[in-house]
Structures are given as C-alpha cells and as structure tokens.
Amino acid sequence: MAEPIIELRNVNIYQGNNLVLQDVNLTINKGEFVYLVGKTGTGKSSLLKTIYGELELTEGEGTVAGFNLRGLDWRKVPYLRRTLGVVFQDFQLLTDRNVNDNLKFVLRATGWTDEKLMNEKIADVLDKVGLKSKGFKMPFELSGGEQQRIDVARALLNSPKLILADEPTGNLDPETSDEIMALLVQISKDYNTAVVMASHDYIVVQKFPARMIRTERGRVIDNASISIE
C-alpha cells in the first residue's frame, strides 16, 4: 500500500508577507520519483524550502517524513533534515578538505561520533555513487560530474527517506546529466527513497519520464504536462 512521505493540505506558502503559492494539496509517496517544474519565480524553491523546514508553514497542514510542519519547533528542524537528503546545483562541497572529510563533516554535524561507523558509512555511500576510490581527492581534483556524485553521496549519508534535488543537472553537460539522472532514478528504486527534483531541463525530463508537478500563477498543478510556454 502506498505510504505518504510528503502530505500537504490546503497549504499557503509565504515569502515574508508575499503569498507565493496558495491552496497547495500534494501527496508524494515513499519511493516515488517526482519532477518539480515551472518558470523561475513561480515558487519551486519556496515549496522545497517549506518541505525542508526553512520556510515556516503557517497556513494549512503538512507532514514530511512523519514530522508535522505546522508550527515546527526550530529545535526539531535538524531532526527533520536528518531524514532528508538534499542535492544542490552548485555542489556546495567544502574546498579546503578532501571528499572523506567533506562527508565526515556532515556526519558529525548530524550527531555521529563513532569513527569506525563513520568510515564504514562513507565507504558505503561512495560505493553507491561509483566513486569508491575518490575519498582522498580534493574537490578541485574532481570533474563536475564527480562533484555532483559526491553531492548525491552526501545526501545519502543518513539513509534518507526523501531526497530533495534542486536543479542537480543545471551545471552539467548532457552526458553527465544523464549519468546523474540514472543514478538518482536507481537510488529511488533500490532504496525506496522518494526523490523530488526541481528542474528546468526538459530534455532530462523527457528522457527520464516521471510524475510532474508544476508551479504556475501561484498554484501547484499535479500531473502537469511538459508543454513549455
């Protein structure tokens, strides 16, 4: 039976005093791969930030990975984020340390203390993204595609139920984009991890078809078509 990982009911999303998205009703189930599309400025990032606990939910009801977003205590936000993985467009790797230490930094920040367990987890996620031998490389020694794979590995560190990917192929060439997409689709299938991916890249969306949600004129349209206006 389908089990929701994200559930939003009659949600209004604000940036400051501006209503960005209104009457959002959305259910995304465990293991589902979903695209979030729409023009710049139509609320994609605001929707992701609400799911991530960065924007407070003040109107409507929402749960993500079992956490109630309405009036979510700021002290609980780190616990919500531990159940999520986030993949950014610009990698956001720490440039002053190698891959292993980048990943260890995240583990320590999310409460891990056992050195042996941390090393095992790092080896595991690097293996999942096909970069087992790159742990001692500095970020500048990696290609853009490899850096994005490290970003995906970082998102997997806490065995998330949900990955939020914000334009993860935005800075990559088409061939590398396809590799990252195939990796995300595979992770979703293999680990029953839901993936919500914001994208402007309609070529990628057509190559790897999945359910599509569009932000448009202050609304969230489910099962949207791919028409580019």
Identify any residues that bridge with 197 across adjacent strands, giving them in sequence order.
Answer: 35, 165
Region of poorest pLDDT, from 98-107, 155-164, 217-226: 217-226
Tokens standing for residue 202? 């309609």
CATH, residue 73: 3.40.50.300
Based on the fold, state whether residues 72 and 99 are members of the same structural domain.
no
What pLDDT is attached to residue 88? 78
Q: How far apart are CA 107 and CA 118, in angstroms?
A: 7
Q: How far apart are CA 103 and CA 121, in angstroms?
A: 9
Asked whether the predicted pLDDT for residue 71 surpasses 90, the reply is no
pLDDT by residue (tens digit) across 18-56?
A: 999 999 999 999 999 999 998 888 999 899 999 999 999
Asked whether the predicted pLDDT for residue 225 surpasses 70, the reply is no
Quick check: is 155 in a domain? no
Residue 126 structural domain: 92-147
Based on the fold, state whether residues 56 and 164 are members of the same structural domain.
yes
Asked whether the predicted pLDDT for residue 224 surpasses 70, the reply is no
* Rounded mean pLDDT, 5-24: 95
Question: What pTM did the predictor assign?
Answer: 0.90
% of the chain residues with pLDDT over 70:
97
Q: Are 224 and 214 in contact (CB under 8 A)?
A: yes
